[in-house]
Amino acid sequence: MSKLTAGTANRKPFKRPMAGWYKRDPFFVRYMWREVTALAVLLYAIVLMVGVLRLSQGEAAFNGWLAALGSPLSIVFHLVLLVAMVYHVYTWFEVMPKTMPLLYAGGKRVADATIMRGGIVAAIVTNLALLALVWGMRP
Amino acid sequence: MSDTQQKRIKIEVLRYRPEQDKEPVWQSFDVPYTDDMSVLQGVQYIKDELDGSLSFRWSCRMAICGSCGMMIDGKPKLSCKTFLRDYAGQTLRVEALAHFPIERDLVVGLEDFMDKLESIKPYIVPKEARTLAQGEYLQTPAERDQYEQFSSCINCTLCYAACPQYGMDSKFMGPGVLALLHRYNADSRDGAQAERMEIVGAEEGVWNCTAVAYCSEVCPKGVDPAKAVNLNKVNSAKAYFFGLPGKKEAAK
């Protein structure tokens, strides 16, 4: 027994239930969406890995995979994945400043918002560069 | 105030009187208020004028003692720093801080928090013993910057009421205590890092945090506990791979 509880026999502390806690506050709802959208990253990784597997099985198999990607259902699926991943990237950089040591530039603390914006800009630039590279390598 | 019409607000308080209530119940009060009245003053009005049996903690009334935290409209806030005028025209719900057991009405049991706070040695353990003649322990402004924001903690425990991880498993050390732990570990004069890192790296330490980061959002002092916790995930990983600082000396 803690020092603070000594001599208090009539206590009947009430512990409130936690069921449905994630619906209690909009902040928690956003957090759950952040966690759920991580699954979009997993799903897209699986789609790509299937592509690699089909590639190892020969040209016909790979072309079949490419054709499947072009189906309307696949395009809708990829659009959903894209939205989820964009949201996930945003939340990822939102958390990033919390995981970094205190940064100083010119004697002043670098603000969390600046670090977050830096991350988002880096993500946009690398993605555009990758797109340009793929576009340039078209057959 | 120049207007003749007295403003009024309906305040619903979650009551819990262990000797008569099986579980907490909402009780409604009609409270007259002026624009300069805090939620704490509203609750004080209830106690003074409407129901003297209402229990709550408060002390300084100026956001530094950390006693008057409550769930105000579902959010953990200091009731002295939150104003009734911001809830005009609606029913204001006031509840004891979430995730803690309710002792009575708005009073929660804090012994778990206090035990945790004590366990991290929330004070400077001098790195080297010095005599008076050797003078004070010197520190550069840059060294001070490493812990200053984390030293602003007033132990109000709003961050615990914001932390679902603590709510689901109170074995977790929690945001406030881990932020204070970091405050001392990041102090260049302190020599107890190795001891505190045992707590950081334990099952109940930083790895229980899933970076919800609501703790930093609700902190009335800008401490940013989520930053302290997540910084220490890095420190814990470093300690795992490269050993604890000062541990070898302690072993001798």
Asked whether residue A9 is domain-assigned, the answer is no
Q: DSSP of B79-139, one letter per residue?
A: GGGSBGGGGTTSPEEEEPPTTSPEEETTEE--HHHHHHHHHT--S--BSS---GGG-PPP-
Report whether B32 contacts B8 (CB < 8 A): yes
Domain residue limits, chain B: 7-108, 111-246
What's the average model confidence in pLDDT over B50-61? 98
DSSP state of B206: G
Q: Which member of B23, B109, B230 has the closest CB to residue A98?
A: B230
Q: Is residue A121 part of a domain?
A: yes
Number of domains forming the structure of chain A:
1
The pair of three-digit structure tokens given for residue B66, joined into one six-digit string: 């950390």
Mean pLDDT to the nearest integer, B54-76: 98
Residue B25, pLDDT > 70, answer: yes
Cβ contact (<8 Å) for B226 and A102?
no
- A6: pLDDT confidence band, cut at 50, 70 and 90? low
* Residue A128 belongs to some domain of the structure: yes
Instruction: Give the angle B131-B133-B136 at the CA atoms, nearest 5°.
Output: 75
pLDDT of residue B250: 42
| Cα distance between residue B241 and residue A43, in whole Å | 32
- B111-246: CATH superfamily: Alpha-helical ferredoxin (1.10.1060.10)
Inter-chain contact A101–B224, Cβ cutoff 8 Å? no
Alpha-carbon gap: A49 to the closest alpha carbon of chain B (Å): 28
Cβ distance of A21 and B168 shorter than 8 Å: yes
Exposure on the CB side of residue A101, measured as CA atoms within 13 A: 7
Nearest residue on chain A to B168, alpha-carbon basis: A18
Whether residue A11 lies inside any domain: the answer is no
Pick from B233, B45, B46, B74: nearest CA to B158 = B74
CATH superfamily of B7-108: Beta-grasp domain (3.10.20.30)
CB-CB contact of B212 with A31 (8 Å):
yes
Residue-range definition of the domain harbouring residue A71: 23-136
Query: For an interface test with A, which of B230, B234, B235, B238 has the most A Cβ atoms less than 10 Å from its Cβ?
Result: B230
Yes or no, beta carbons of B74 and A15 under 8 Å apart: no
Identify whether A99 is part of a domain.
Answer: yes
Q: Give the pLDDT band of residue B4 (cuts 50, 70, 90).
A: low
For the entire predicted model, the pTM comes to 0.90
A 10 A CB-CB count for B230 gives 23
pLDDT (tens digit per residue) in B106-120: 999 999 999 999 999
Instruction: Report which of B52, B35, B158 is spatially closest to residue B86, judged by C-alpha positions.
Output: B35
Q: Give pLDDT tens digits for A19-30.
A: 999 999 999 999
What CATH number should be reported for the domain holding residue A48?
Answer: 1.20.1300.10
Do the domain assignments include residue A14?
no
Are residues B110 and A104, on separate chains, in Cβ contact within 8 Å? no
